[in-house]
C-alpha cells in the first residue's frame, strides 16, 4: 500500500499535465486552473498522508524501494525506473508538493485573465511531476530524467510570454547554461556507470573507493551539473534573466525547488563527495564566492524580481557552503526554509507587481505598505526570514546551523558567511524600505484576491515558525529534522558543542541586525526621491560583475562568428572544385574537336607515333 | 519464407498500381499508396508474428538462384536489426504518404509510384544477405528518389539531386570493389565464387587486405550515414527535396548507412574495424560537433534540420565503432529515434513552407499564435531532437556515450558536448520560427494542422515516448541477432581472434 | 547449286553465305524494279529482313569442317557466333528503325547498303586471316560511306561522309601497312599479334602490331583516335549513326579480342600497357567529351568512346571473368546504345538537348525509354548496364587491374553527370512554345519497346545471358574442335599471376 | 632477310610516310585522297615485298585485293566530293566550311 503512494503522487500532476497538453488549449481556463491546483493539491495531501504513515511506522532501514520497470537492460548495463522513499526524499516531496500547491493556488489568481492559462498550468504540473521524479529516483539515470525534465519546464515557463523576444532569449540562456552542467553531469554518470557497473544510487555509493581519482573526477563532474542547476558561480548568469517568466514560476522553479536540485543531488550522493575532499573544498569555496558576489549584486539591483533572484543565488551559496563543509543536514534545512520564505517573497512581490501595473523597478514604487498592508506583512515576514532576524524567523535557525558548521570548517569561511548574512539583511531591508515605506510614487489599484492571499498567509506563518523544528543546542536541543534525516545523511555532528558556541550564536544574530540598521541609515524614507547608486562599483554589481559580458565576448561571440563565417560549409567547396575541373576538362576536349579533318588525322598519326615511341622505349 | 520477397514486391506492385491509377484520375494514386502501405504493414506484422519462437537470431529466410554462373543468389535473411529498421521504414512511410504527398498535383501517380519504389529498394537493402543483391538494392533505391527530388523538389533541386546521386553512386562503386574483392579472396581460398554473406564472413583476410576492403564498405556507408567530410550532399539534398522525400531520406535512407556499418563493416571485418575504430570515433565526434555547429548558423529551416541530422548520426558512428553490444544497441535506438523525430521535423518544415512559401528563418517568427498546433508539435519534436531524457533520442545517445566512454572518455566528452550544441540549435530554431514577435504587421490567417496531421505526428510522438521510456523491445531485437548468436562462428565485436 | 557453293567454300560460315546471297537477291530486285515506283521499298525491306533472319538462323548451322590452320580464313567459333548474333540482331533493329527514316527516296539501296555493311561486319567478326579481315573491314567502311551520305538533304551528312572518308582511308592504310609488316616479319597472314622472328629484335613485330592497333582503335573510336566519331554521328542520319556506334563497333571489338587471343595481356608489359593507356584515355576522355555536349548524338558519341574504354578493361582482365564480362557488356552496350538512338529516331529533328525539355510530359513513353537506355549506359539498376558494369569491375578485380578500375570509377562518375543531365532535362517542364514532337514510326516504336523490355529484363535476370557468355569460353571439350579454338582464343593461355595485392 | 625485300620495305615505308604527310599537310581534299591512295599502295608494295621474302603468293593476292578496294574507295570518295560540291561547298579546302565541330 505504502509502495503505491510515491508513483501515485507523481502520477497526479503528470496526469494533469497530460490532460492539459492534450486538450490543446480547448479547455476553459477555470477548468484548467481547477485541474492543476486540484492535482497538485491532491499530490500534497497524499504526500502528507504518506509522511504521516512513514513517520508513524517507518519501514525497515527507513527506506522503501519501488521498482516500476526495467528501463534499459543491455550489454551488462541495467537501469530501472525506480523510486526510493526515505526521509530525504520525503522532505523534498513535502517541499515540492506543499510549496508547489500553495504556488499553484496563488497562480490561479495571478494568471487570471491570461488566455494561455492551460499551457501555463500544463508546464507547471509537468514541472511538479518532473521534480518529484528527481527527488524520488533511486537510479541516477532516472534522476537525470527528472533533472532534464525540470530544466525543460523551466525553459518553457521562462519563455511563457513568447511574444517578447527577450523572454525567449532568457529562456534559451537558462536552458543552455544549465545544459552545459547537465552534460558534465552526464559525463559523471558515464564515468560512474563504467566504473561501478550501474547507476543505482545505493550501488554506486557502495562501490566508491575513497580518495581515488575516479571518485574525484566523478564528484567534480557531478558538481558541474549541480552548480549549473543551482546557479552557482561560474554558472550563475542564467538565473537573473530567468525572472522573465511569470512570478509564480520564479517562486516555484527559480526559488523554491528546481534550483535546489543541485543541493539535493550532492546531499543525496554525499558519500561520493566525502570520498573526494578536493571537490568538497571547491564546493565550499564556490558557495562562499557565489554567496558574496550575488549578495553584492542584489544590493545594486533596481528590479524587485532581480533582487530576489540574486538573493536566491546568494542563499544557494549558503547551501553549497554547508555542503562543502559536510553539513548535509544544515544544507537541507536551509533548503527547506529558503523554499518557504523565498517563495513567500516572490509571491508577495508578484502581488505588488500586479497591483502597480507590472512595474518592477523599486525606485518607482514606494509607500506601498499603507495601500496593501497584508502584502506588506507577508513580504516583511519573508524578508525577516531571509535576513535571519534572530529567534523569530525560520531563516535564522537554518543560517545559524550553517554558520556553526562553517566555523568548524574554518574561520575564513565563517567570516565570509557572516559578511554574507550582513549583506543579506542590508539588501533585503533596502528593498523593503524603498518599496513599502516613504511617499507613494506609483498608485496601486485593485486588490489582492483571496487565492493569492491565502498562500501568502500560510507561507508567512511557516516562514516565521518553520525554524522551530531544529534549533542550536545553545538555545534549545531540538533536532527534529536532523534526527529525521539521520538514516540518510548520517547523525548530526555534535563536536560543535564547544565553548564558543554562544559567542558564535551572538555574532550570527547581530550580523542581520547590523545590516538592517545600516539599511535604515541609508534608505530610510526621506524627503527626496531615492535614487540608485550609479558609481562604477554599483554598475559592475548591477551587471552581475561582468560575467555575462565576459562569456559573451570570450565564448558566444567567437563561436557564432566562426560559425557564421563557415555557414556555407567549407567541405561543400570540394565538390564545386571537382565540378569545375570536370568542366574545364570537357571544354579542353571539346576544343580538340574543332572540325578540321586534317587535325583529326594528325591526332591519329600522333597517337600512333606516341605508341611506337612507348614501345621502342625499353 | 516467400513473405520476405513480398516485402520488396508488394511496394513495387503498389507503385505500378499507383502509376496506373494516376493515369485514370489525379485523385486515385493517393488511396492506392495508402492501401499499399497498409498492406505492407500487415505483411510485416505477419512476418513478425510468424517468427518461430526461440528459432535463433535469424528470424526469416528466403533464397532463390539468380545468377548461378557467378554464384549470385537472391538470398534474403531477416534478423532483429533488419526487423526493427523495416518497421521504421514502414512506420515512416505513413507520414510521407498521409501528410506530405496528398497535395502533390503534378502527376501524382508517378510521384506515388516513385515513393513506393524507393520503399521497395530500402526494404530490399534491409533484408538482402547476398552481397551482390544488397548492392543491387543499394543502388536501386537511389533512382526513384533522384527523380523525386529532381522533379518535385524546391528551387535548387537539380544541383542537389545531382550531388546526392553522384556521392552515393560514386561511393557505391567503391563498395562494389570491396564486395568483389572479398568474393575473389574467398574464391581463392575455397574455390567457390559466392556472394553469400555467411560464406564470405568466414574468409581469412590479412590485416592489410581486410583494412582495404573494409574501407571500401566504410566509405559507401559513411557517405550515406553521413560522416563529416563526406556529408556535403546531405544538406543540399534534404533542403531541396519535397517533403516526402526529405522525410524518407532523413528517416530511412540514412539508416541504411548505419545498417551497413553494423551488418557489413563491423561484422565482416571485425578486426579491421577495431583497428579503424579510433579514426571512426574521431570522425563520429567531429560529425556530432560540426553538424551541430553548422546547424546553429543556418537560416534555412530545412538546412538546419539537415545539419542536425549530421550531428545525430555522428552518434550512430560512435555507437557502431564502440565495439560493444551496448553501443550497437544505442546506435540502433538512435537511428529509430532520429528517424521519427527528424522525419516529423521535416514534415513540419514542409508544412511551414507550404504555408509561408519560405524556409528562411529570418522571415519567420511569432508563428505560435497563428499556428498553435503546428508550433507546438514543432517544439515537441525539437525537444526530442535535443535529446530530452524520456524520449527515444536520449536512450540512443546515452547508450552510445556509455559504450564510447568505456573505450575513450575524451571522445565521449566531446559527444556529450554535442548535447549542449543540440540544445542550442534546436531551441534557436524554435525561438526563431515560432516564438518572438511576428515580422511586420502580424501573420495573415494561416491554416493550422488538422486532425490528420495531429494524429500522425501524435503517433510519432507516442512512439518516441515509448522508445524513450521502454526501449527494451527494440534493444532486445536489435542487439543479439547479428552480434552474439549470429550464424557466424566468430567473436564479433569482442576483438577476439577469428577461428 | 547452293550445295556446291558451300562445298567450294568449306571455310565460310553460314551467315556470311546467307548475307551474300541476300545481297544478290536484293540487287536483282532493285535491278528489276520499274523506275518511279515506290512499291519496291516494301519488298526490299522484306528481303533485307528475311536475309538477316536467315543469317541469324544460320548461326545454328553445324560448323563447317575445319581447314588447315594456316589457311583458315574464318574462325567460326562460339565467339564469332556470339558477335555475329549481336551484329545481326542490331542490324535488324536498325532496319526497323530505318523503316521510314531512310525511306522516301530509294529505300532499297539503303537496305542494300545496310546488308552490305552487315556482311562486312560479320566477316570482320569472324575473320581469322588478314585478307578476310581487310576485305570485311573495307566492305563495312565503304557501305558506311554510302549510308552516311545517303540523305543529301541532311546538310551535314556529306561533310560527315567526307570526314569519314579521309580518316577511315588513312586509318585503313595504316592498318594495312601494319598487316604488311607483320606478314613480312612472320610470313603468315593469320590475324593475330605477330611474334618476332628474332626475339632479340622485336621492333618490327611491335611496330606492325601498333599500326594494326591504330586501325582497329580508329574504327572503335578509342581515344586518342576518337575525334571523328562525334562529327560523323552528328552528321549522319540517326539509323546510320546507330549502325556506326553499334554494329561496326561490335564487329571491331570482336576482331580486336581475336587479334589478342594468343597474347598475354595480364601484366603491365607491352602491349597490355598500350591497351591500358588507351582504355584510360577512352574512359576519361569519352566521358569528359560527352559531359560538355549539348547535342544528344554527340553526347552519345562520347558515351560510346567511354564504353569502348570499359570494354578494353574487360579485355585486359584476362581470366574467365574478363572474356565473359566483355561478351556480356557488348550485349548490354548494343541494346542500350541502339535503344538510345532509336529513341532519338522516335523524336526526329530534335538534335539539341534543349529541345528535349519536358519530354516526360510530351512523349512520356519515349522519354522513359531513353531514360532506361541512359540508365543502362550509366550502370544504374535495374537496367542491364548495372550488372554489365559490375561484371567488368568483377573481372578487373579478379585480374587486379586496380588502376584501370580506379579510372573506370572516376570516369563512371563523370558519366553519371551527363546521363542524369539528359534525364533531368526531360523532366523539367517544357516551355509552351516547344514544338510538339511528331509521332514515331511504328518500326521504331516496336524496336524501342523491345529494347527497353530487354534492357530491364536482362538487368533483372542476367543469369541466362551470363551462363551463355561464360559457356562461350568454357564448354570446350577435347572433341569440339571449333570450340576448342575459341577456348584458347579468349582464355589467356597463361594463368593470372598470383595476386600481389592479396598476399 | 635478304637485301631486296628489306630495301623494298624501306621504300614502302618512305612512300607510306609521304602519303601520311600528304594527308596531314595538303588542304585540298582531292590531294588528300590521292595521298591516301599513296599510303594504300605503299602497303600493297610492302605486301609484295614480304611475299617475295617468304616466296609465297599471299602477298600478291593481298596486292590484288588492295588494288580493287582502293579503286572502290576512290570511286566512292570522288562521288562524295561531288556531293560536297553539290551541297554548296565552294572549294575543296578541307579546312574551311566545316560545320560539324565541338
Q: Write down the pLDDT at residue A405.
A: 87
Q: Write down the pLDDT at residue A528.
A: 72
> Could you tell me if residue B65 is inside a domain?
yes
Return the DSSP state at C263: S
Q: Write down the pLDDT at residue B481.
A: 52
Is some CB atom of chain C closer than 8 A to the CB atom of B134?
A: no
Residue-range domain boundaries for chain A: 2-490+520-532, 533-567, 568-616
Residue A191's alpha-carbon distances to A95, A204, B321, B322, in angstroms, are 31, 11, 19, 16
Question: Which of B246-260, C95-109, C135-149 is least confident?
Answer: C95-109
Same domain, C42 and C132: yes
Neighbours of B (≥3 Cβ pairs closer than 8 A)? A, C
Q: Write down the pLDDT at residue A251.
A: 93
Top residue of C163, C175, C193, C210 to mutate, by most chain A CBs within 10 Å, is: C210
- Cβ–Cβ under 8 Å, residues C365 and C407: no
Q: In this predicted model, what pLDDT tens digit does every residue of C5-33 receive, in sequence order?
A: 444 455 688 899 999 999 999 998 888 87
Partners of residue A361 on adjacent β-strands:
A303
CA distance C363 to chain B (A): 14
Q: Do A598 and D100 touch (CB under 8 A)?
A: no
A379-390 in b/e burial notation, b at 16+ Cβ within 10 A? Answer: bbbbbbbbbbbb
Judge D/B contact: 3 or more CB pairs < 8 A: no
Q: Is the model more confident about C63 or about B106?
A: B106
Question: Which residue from B96, B98, B76, B4 is spatially nearest to B43, judged by alpha carbons?
Answer: B4
Task: Give the residue from chain C lying closest to A616, CA to CA.
Answer: C203
| Helix boundaries (H) for A252-363 | 261-268, 270-274, 277-300, 304-324, 328-355
Task: Give the residue from chain C lying closest to A606, CA to CA.
Answer: C224
Contact map slice: D 6-45 vs C, CB within 8 A: 9, 12, 16, 19-20, 23, 29, 32-33, 36, 39-40, 42-44
> Could you tell me if residue B493 is inside a domain?
no
List CB contacts (< 8 A) between C293 and chain A.
590
Please name the member of B167, B406, B417 whose beta carbon is closest to the beta carbon of A183. B417
Specify the pairing of strand B65-67 against strand B58-62: unpaired
- How many domains does the structure of chain C reveal? 2
List CB contacts (< 8 A) between B394 and chain A.
148
Same domain, C250 and C324: no
What is the interface pTM, i.e. ipTM, of the complex?
0.89
Q: Could you give the dihedral angle defined by the CA atoms of residues C306, C307, C310 and C315, in that order, rounded to the nearest 10 degrees? A: -120
Q: Do A601 and D27 touch (CB under 8 A)?
A: no
Q: Do C171 and A604 touch (CB under 8 A)?
A: yes
Same domain, C188 and C160: yes
Q: Do C288 and A612 touch (CB under 8 A)?
A: no
Residue-range domain boundaries for chain D: 3-86
Q: How many residue pairs bridge chain B and chain C with CB atoms within 8 Å of each other?
A: 84
The upper half-sphere exposure of residue B220, i.e. CA atoms within 13 Å in the direction of its Cβ, equals 25
Neighbours of D (≥3 Cβ pairs closer than 8 A)? A, C
Nine cell digits for residue A479: 533536532
Q: In this predicted model, what pLDDT tens digit does every residue of A344-376 receive, in sequence order?
A: 999 999 999 988 888 889 888 888 888 889 999
Mean pLDDT by 10 residues, chain B (499 residues): 87 94 88 94 91 74 88 89 92 88 80 93 93 93 90 88 90 92 91 90 90 94 92 92 91 93 90 93 95 92 94 94 89 94 94 91 89 92 93 94 93 94 93 88 86 92 94 79 41 35
Is some CB atom of chain C closer than 8 A to the CB atom of B437?
A: no
Contact map slice: A 248-267 vs C, CB within 8 A: none
| Helix boundaries (H) for A450-571 | 450-465, 480-489, 501-523, 536-542, 547-551, 557-565
List CB contacts (< 8 A) between B183 and chain C.
394
Same domain, C299 and C259: no
Partners of residue A77 on adjacent β-strands:
A74
**Percentage of chain D lying above the pLDDT 90 cut:** 52
Q: Write down the pLDDT at residue B496.
A: 34
List CB contacts (< 8 A) between C299 and chain A.
none
Q: What are phi and psi of A111, to 5 degrees?
A: -95, 10
Say whether pLDDT at A398 is over 70. yes
Same domain, C40 and C181: yes
Is some CB atom of chain C closer than 8 A to the CB atom of B64?
A: no
Could you tell me which residues come within 8 angstroms of residue B286 by beta carbon, excluding any fewer than 6 positions away?
Answer: B228, B314
> Could you tell me if residue B121 is inside a domain?
yes
Say whether pLDDT at A312 is over 80. yes
Say whether pLDDT at C411 is over 60. yes
| DSSP assignments along A99-144, one per residue | IHHHHHHHHHHHTTT-TTHHHHHHHHHHHHHHHHHHHHBSBHHHHH
Return the DSSP state at A476: -
Q: Do B376 and A24 touch (CB under 8 A)?
A: yes
- How many domains does the structure of chain B reveal? 1
Maximum Cα–Cα distance across chain A: 117
Q: Does domain D3-86 have CATH number 1.10.287.3510?
A: yes
Q: Do D94 and A596 touch (CB under 8 A)?
A: yes
Say whether pLDDT at C1 is over 80. no
Nine cell digits for residue A602: 594528325
pLDDT band, very low/low/confident/very high, at C309 (cuts 50, 70, 90): very high
HEC profile of C340-401: HHHHHHHCCCCCEHHHHCCHHHHCHHHHHHHHHHHHHHHCCCCCHHHHHHHHHHHHHHHCCC
Q: Do A606 and C218 touch (CB under 8 A)?
A: no
Q: In this predicted model, what pLDDT tens digit does every residue of C226-242 receive, in sequence order?
A: 999 999 999 998 999 99
Nine cell digits for residue C484: 576448342
Please name the member of A590, A593, A597 whose beta carbon is closest to the beta carbon of D94. A597
Return the DSSP state at C188: -
* CA dist., res. B371 & res. B443, Å (int): 10
Say whether pLDDT at D92 is over 70. yes
Query: SS3 for C432?
Result: coil
> Could you tell me if residue C3 is inside a domain?
no
**Percentage of chain C lying above the pLDDT 70 cut:** 84
Residue A70: in which H helix or E strand, if any?
Answer: strand A64-74
Q: Write down the pLDDT at residue C9.
A: 56
Say whether pLDDT at C495 is over 60. no
Same domain, C149 and C211: yes
Q: In this predicted model, what pLDDT tens digit does every residue of A243-272 receive, in sequence order?
A: 999 999 999 999 999 999 999 999 999 999
Is some CB atom of chain C closer than 8 A to the CB atom of A613?
A: no
Q: Write down the pLDDT at residue C339.
A: 94
Judge C/D contact: 3 or more CB pairs < 8 A: yes
Burial class for B343, CB neighbours closer than 10 Å (0-12, 13-18, 19+): buried
Task: Give the residue from chain C lying closest to D5, CA to CA.
Answer: C184
Amino acid at each position: 500500500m505504502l509502495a503505491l503512494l510515491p508513483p501515485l503522487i507523481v502520477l497526479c500532476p503528470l496526469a494533469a499535465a497530460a490532460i492539459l497538453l492534450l486538450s490543446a488549449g480547448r479547455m476553459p481556463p477555470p477548468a484548467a486552473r481547477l485541474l492543476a491546483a486540484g492535482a497538485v493539491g491532491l499530490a500534497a495531501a497524499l504526500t502528507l498522508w504518506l509522511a504521516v504513515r512513514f513517520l508513524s511506522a517507518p519501514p525497515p532501514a527507513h527506506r522503501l524501494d519501488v521498482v516500476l520497470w526495467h528501463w534499459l537492460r543491455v550489454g551488462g548495463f541495467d537501469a530501472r525506473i525506480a523510486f526510493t522513499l526515505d526521509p530525504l526524499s520525503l522532505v523534498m516531496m513535502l517541499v515540492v508538493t506543499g510549496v508547489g500547491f500553495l504556488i499553484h493556488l496563488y497562480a490561479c489568481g495571478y494568471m487570471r485573465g491570461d488566455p494561455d492559462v492551460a499551457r501555463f498550468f500544463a508546464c507547471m504540473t509537468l514541472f511538479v511531476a518532473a521534480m518529484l521524479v528527481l527527488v524520488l529516483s533511486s537510479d541516477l539515470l532516472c534522476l537525470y530524467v527528472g533533472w532534464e525534465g525540470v530544466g525543460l519546464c523551466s525553459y518553457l515557463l521562462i519563455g511563457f510570454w513568447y511574444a517578447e523576444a527577450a523572454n525567449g532569449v532568457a529562456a534559451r540562456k537558462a536552458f543552455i547554461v544549465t545544459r552545459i552542467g547537465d552534460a558534465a553531469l552526464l559525463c559523471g554518470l558515464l564515468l560512474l556507470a563504467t566504473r561501478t557497473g550501474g547507476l543505482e544510487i545505493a550501488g554506486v555509493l557502495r562501490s566508491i573507493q575513497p580518495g581515488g581519482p575516479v571518485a574525484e573526477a566523478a564528484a567534480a563532474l557531478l558538481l558541474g551539473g549541480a552548480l549549473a542547476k543551482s546557479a552557482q558561480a561560474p554558472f550563475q548568469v542564467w538565473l537573473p534573466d530567468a525572472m522573465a517568466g511569470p512570478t509564480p514560476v520564479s517562486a516555484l522553479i527559480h526559488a523554491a525547488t528546481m534550483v535546489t536540485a543541485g543541493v539535493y543531488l550532492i546531499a543525496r550522493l554525499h558519500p561520493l563527495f566525502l570520498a573526494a575532499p578536493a571537490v568538497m573544498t571547491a564546493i565550499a569555496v564556490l558557495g562562499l564566492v557565489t554567496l558574496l558576489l550575488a549578495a553584492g549584486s542584489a544590493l545594486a539591483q533596481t528590479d524587485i524580481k532581480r533582487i530576489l533572484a540574486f538573493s536566491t543565488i546568494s542563499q544557494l551559496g549558503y547551501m553549497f557552503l554547508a555542503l562543502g563543509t559536510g553539513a548535509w543536514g544544515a544544507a537541507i534545512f536551509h533548503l527547506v526554509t529558503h523554499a518557504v520564505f523565498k517563495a513567500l517573497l516572490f509571491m508577495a512581490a508578484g502581488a505588488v507587481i500586479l497591483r502597480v501595473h507590472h512595474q518592477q523597478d523599486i525606485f518607482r514604487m514606494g509607500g506601498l505598505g499603507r495601500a496593501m498592508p497584508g502584502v506588506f506583512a507577508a513580504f516583511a515576514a519573508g524578508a525577516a526570514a531571509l535576513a535571519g532576524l534572530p529567534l523569530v524567523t525560520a531563516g535564522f535557525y537554518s543560517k545559524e546551523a550553517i554558520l556553526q558548521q562553517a566555523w568548524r570548517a574554518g574561520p575564513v569561511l565563517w567570516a565570509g558567511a557572516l559578511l554574507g548574512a550582513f549583506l543579506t539583511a542590508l539588501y533585503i531591508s533596502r528593498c523593503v524600505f524603498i518599496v513599502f515605506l516613504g511617499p507613494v510614487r506609483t498608485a496601486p489599484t485593485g486588490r489582492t484576491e483571496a487565492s493569492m492571499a491565502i498562500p501568502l498567509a500560510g507561507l508567512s506563518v511557516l516562514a516565521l515558525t518553520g525554524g522551530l523544528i531544529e534549533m542550536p543546542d545553545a538555545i534549545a536541543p531540538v533536532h527534529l529534522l536532523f534526527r529525521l534525516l539521520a538514516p540518510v545523511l548520517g547523525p548530526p555532528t555534535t563536536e560543535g558543542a564547544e565553548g564558543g558556541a554562544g559567542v558564535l550564536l551572538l555574532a550570527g544574530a547581530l550580523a542581520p541586525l547590523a545590516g538592517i540598521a545600516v539599511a535604515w541609515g541609508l534608505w530610510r524614507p526621506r524627503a527626496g526621491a531615492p535614487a540608485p547608486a550609479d558609481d562604477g562599483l554599483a554598475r559592475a554589481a548591477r551587471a552581475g560583475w561582468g560575467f555575462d559580458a565576459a562569456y559573451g565576448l570570450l565564448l558566444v561571440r567567437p563561436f557564432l562568428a566562426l560559425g557564421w563565417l563557415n555557414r556555407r560549409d567549407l567541405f561543400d567547396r570540394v565538390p564545386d572544385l571537382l565540378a569545375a575541373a570536370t568542366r574545364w576538362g570537357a571544354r579542353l576536349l571539346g576544343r580538340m574537336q574543332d572540325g578540321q579533318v586534317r587535325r583529326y588525322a594528325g591526332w591519329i598519326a600522333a597517337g600512333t607515333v606516341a605508341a611506337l615511341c612507348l614501345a621502342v622505349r625499353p | 519464407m516467400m513473405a520476405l520477397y513480398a516485402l520488396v514486391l508488394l511496394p513495387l506492385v503498389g507503385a505500378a498500381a499507383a502509376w496506373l491509377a494516376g493515369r485514370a484520375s489525379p485523385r486515385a494514386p493517393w488511396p492506392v499508396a495508402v492501401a499499399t502501405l497498409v498492406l505492407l504493414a500487415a505483411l510485416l506484422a505477419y512476418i513478425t508474428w510468424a517468427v518461430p519462437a526461440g528459432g535463433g537470431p535469424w528470424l526469416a529466410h528466403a533464397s532463390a538462384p539468380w545468377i548461378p554462373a557467378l554464384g549470385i543468389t537472391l538470398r534474403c535473411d531477416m534478423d532483429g536489426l533488419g526487423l526493427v529498421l523495416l518497421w521504421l521504414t514502414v512506420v515512416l512511410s505513413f507520414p510521407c504518404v498521409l501528410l506530405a504527398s496528398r497535395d502533390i498535383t503534378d502527376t501524382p501517380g508517378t510521384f506515388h509510384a516513385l515513393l513506393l519504389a524507393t520503399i521497395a529498394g530500402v526494404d530490399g537493402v534491409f533484408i538482402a544477405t547476398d552481397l551482390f543483391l544488397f548492392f543491387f538494392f543499394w543502388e536501386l533505391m537511389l533512382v526513384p528518389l533522384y527523380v523525386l527530388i529532381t522533379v518535385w523538389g524546391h528551387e535548387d533541386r537539380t544541383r542537389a539531386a545531382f550531388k546526392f546521386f553522384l556521392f552515393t553512386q560514386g561511393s557505391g562503386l567503391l563498395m562494389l570493389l570491396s564486395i568483389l574483392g572479398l568474393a575473389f579472396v574467398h574464391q581463392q581460398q575455397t574455390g567457390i565464387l559466392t556472394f553469400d554473406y555467411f560464406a564470405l564472413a568466414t574468409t581469412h583476410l590479412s590485416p592489410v587486405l581486410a583494412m582495404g576492403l573494409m574501407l571500401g564498405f566504410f566509405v559507401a556507408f559513411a557517405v550515406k550515414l553521413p560522416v563529416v567530410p563526406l556529408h556535403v550532399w546531405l544538406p543540399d539534398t534534404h533542403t531541396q527535396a519535397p517533403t516526402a522525400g526529405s522525410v524518407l531520406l532523413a528517416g530511412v535512407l540514412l539508416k541504411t548507412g548505419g545498417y551497413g556499418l553494423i551488418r557489413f563493416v563491423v561484422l565482416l571485418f571485425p578486426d579491421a574495424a577495431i583497428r579503424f575504430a579510433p579514426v571512426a570515433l574521431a570522425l563520429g565526434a567531429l560529425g556530432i560537433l560540426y553538424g551541430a555547429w553548422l546547424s546553429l548558423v543556418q537560416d534555412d529551416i530545412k538546412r538546419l534540420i539537415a545539419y542536425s541530422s549530421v550531428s545525430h548520426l555522428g552518434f550512430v558512428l560512435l555507437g557502431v565503432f564502440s565495439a560493444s553490444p551496448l553501443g550497437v544497441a544505442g546506435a540502433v535506438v538512435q537511428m529509430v529515434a532520429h528517424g521519427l523525430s527528424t522525419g516529423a521535423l521535416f514534415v513540419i518544415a514542409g508544412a511551414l513552407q507550404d504555408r509561408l512559401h519560405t524556409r528562411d528563418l529570418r522571415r519567420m517568427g511569432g508563428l505560435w499564435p497563428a499556428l498553435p498546433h503546428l508550433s507546438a508539435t514543432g517544439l515537441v519534436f525539437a525537444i526530442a531532437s535535443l535529446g530530452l531524457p524520456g524520449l527515444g533520442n536520449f536512450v540512443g545517445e546515452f547508450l552510445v556515450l556509455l559504450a564510447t566512454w568505456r573505450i575513450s572518455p575524451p571522445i565521449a566528452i566531446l559527444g556529450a558536448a554535442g548535447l549542449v550544441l543540440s540544445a542550442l540549435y534546436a531551441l534557436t530554431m524554435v525561438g526563431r520560427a515560432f516564438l518572438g514577435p511576428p515580422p511586420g504587421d502580424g501573420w495573415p490567417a494561416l491554416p493550422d494542422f488538422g486532425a490528420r496531421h495531429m494524429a500522425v505526428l501524435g503517433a510519432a510522438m507516442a512512439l518516441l515516448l515509448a522508445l524513450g521510456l521502454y526501449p527494451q523491445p527494440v534493444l532486445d531485437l536489435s542487439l543479439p541477432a547479428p552480434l552474439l548468436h549470429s550464424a557466424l562462428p566468430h567473436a564479433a565485436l569482442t576483438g577476439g581472434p577469428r577461428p | 547449286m547452293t550445295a556446291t557453293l558451300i562445298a567450294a567454300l568449306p571455310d565460310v560460315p553460314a551467315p556470311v553465305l546467307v548475307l551474300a546471297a541476300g545481297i544478290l537477291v536484293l540487287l536483282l530486285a532493285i535491278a528489276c524494279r520499274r523506275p518511279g515506283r515506290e512499291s519496291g521499298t516494301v519488298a526490299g525491306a522484306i528481303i533485307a529482313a528475311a536475309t538477316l533472319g536467315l543469317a541469324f538462323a544460320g548461326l545454328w548451322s553445324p560448323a563447317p569442317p575445319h581447314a588447315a590452320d594456316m589457311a583458315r580464313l574464318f574462325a567460326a567459333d562460339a565467339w564469332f557466333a556470339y558477335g555475329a548474333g549481336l551484329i545481326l540482331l542490331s542490324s535488324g533493329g536498325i532496319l526497323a528503325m530505318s523503316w521510314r527514316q531512310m525511306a522516301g527516296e530509294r529505300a532499297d539501296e539503303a537496305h542494300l547498303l545496310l546488308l552490305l555493311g552487315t556482311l562486312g561486319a560479320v566477316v570482320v567478326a569472324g575473320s581469322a586471316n588478314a585478307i578476310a579481315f581487310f576485305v570485311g573491314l573495307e566492305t563495312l567502311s565503304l557501305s558506311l560511306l554510302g549510308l552516311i551520305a545517303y540523305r543529301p538533304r541532311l546538310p551535314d551528312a556529306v561533310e560527315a561522309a567526307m570526314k569519314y572518308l579521309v580518316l577511315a582511308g588513312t586509318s585503313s592504310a595504316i592498318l594495312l601497312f601494319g598487316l604488311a609488316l607483320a606478314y613480312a616479319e612472320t610470313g603468315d597472314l593469320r590475324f593475330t599479334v605477330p611474334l618476332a622472328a628474332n626475339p632479340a629484335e622485336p621492333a618490327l613485330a611491335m611496330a606492325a602490331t601498333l599500326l594494326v592497333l591504330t586501325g582497329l582503335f580508329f574504327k572503335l573510336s578509342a581515344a586518342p583516335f576518337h575525334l571523328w566519331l562525334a562529327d560523323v554521328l552528328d552528321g549522319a542520319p540517326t539509323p546510320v549513326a546507330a549502325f556506326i556506334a553499334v554494329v561496326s563497333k561490335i564487329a571491331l571489338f570482336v576482331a580486336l579480342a581475336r587479334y589478342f587471343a594468343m597474347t598475354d595481356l595480364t601484366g603491365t608489359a607491352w602491349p597490355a600497357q598500350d591497351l591500358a593507356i588507351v582504355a584510360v584515355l577512352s574512359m576519361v576522355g569519352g566521358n569528359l567529351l560527352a559531359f560538355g555536349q549539348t547535342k544528344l548524338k554527340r553526347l552519345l558519341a562520347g558515351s560510346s568512346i567511354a564504353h569502348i574504354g570499359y570494354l578494353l578493361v574487360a579485355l585486359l582482365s584476362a581470366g574467365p571473368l574478363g572474356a565473359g564480362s566483355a561478351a556480356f557488356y557488348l550485349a548490354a552496350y548494343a541494346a542500350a546504345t541502339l535503344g538510345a538512338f532509336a529513341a532519338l529516331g522516335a523524336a526526329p529533328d530534335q538534335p539539341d538537348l534543349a529541345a528535349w525539355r519536358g519530354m516526360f510530359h510530351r512523349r512520356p513513353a519515349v522519354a522513359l525509354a531513353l531514360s532506361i537506355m541512359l540508365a543502362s549506359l550509366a550502370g544504374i539498376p535495374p537496367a542491364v548496364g548495372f550488372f554489365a558494369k559490375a561484371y567488368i569491375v568483377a573481372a578487373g578485380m579478379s585480374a587486379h587491374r586496380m588502376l584501370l578500375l580506379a579510372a573506370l570509377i572516376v570516369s563512371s562518375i563523370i558519366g553519371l553527370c551527363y546521363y542524369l543531365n539528359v534525364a533531368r532535362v526531360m523532366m523539367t517542364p517544357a516551355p509552351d512554345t516547344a514544338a510538339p514532337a511528331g509521332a514515331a514510326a511504328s518500326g521504331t516504336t516496336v524496336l524501342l519497346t523491345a529494347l527497353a523490355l530487354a534492357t530491364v529484363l536482362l538487368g533483372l535476370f542476367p543469369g541466362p545471358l551470363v551462363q551463355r557468355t561464360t559457356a562461350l569460353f568454357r564448354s570446350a571439350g577435347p572433341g569440339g574442335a571449333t570450340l576448342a579454338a575459341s577456348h584458347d582464343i579468349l582464355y589467356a593461355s597463361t594463368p593470372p599471376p598470383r595476386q600481389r595485392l592479396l598476399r | 632477310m635478304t637485301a631486296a625485300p628489306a630495301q623494298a620495305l624501306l621504300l614502302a615505308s618512305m612512300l607510306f610516310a609521304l602519303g601520311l604527310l600528304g594527308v596531314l599537310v595538303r588542304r585540298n581534299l582531292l590531294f588528300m585522297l590521292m595521298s591516301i591512295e599513296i599510303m594504300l599502295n605503299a602497303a600493297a608494295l610492302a605486301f609484295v615485298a614480304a611475299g617475295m621474302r617468304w616466296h609465297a603468293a599471299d602477298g600478291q593476292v593481298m596486292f590484288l585485293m588492295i588494288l580493287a578496294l582502293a579503286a572502290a574507295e576512290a570511286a566512292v570518295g570522288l562521288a562524295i566530293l561531288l556531293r560536297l560540291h553539290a551541297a554548296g561547298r565552294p572549294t575543296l579546302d578541307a579546312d574551311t566550311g566545316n560545320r560539324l565541330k565541338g
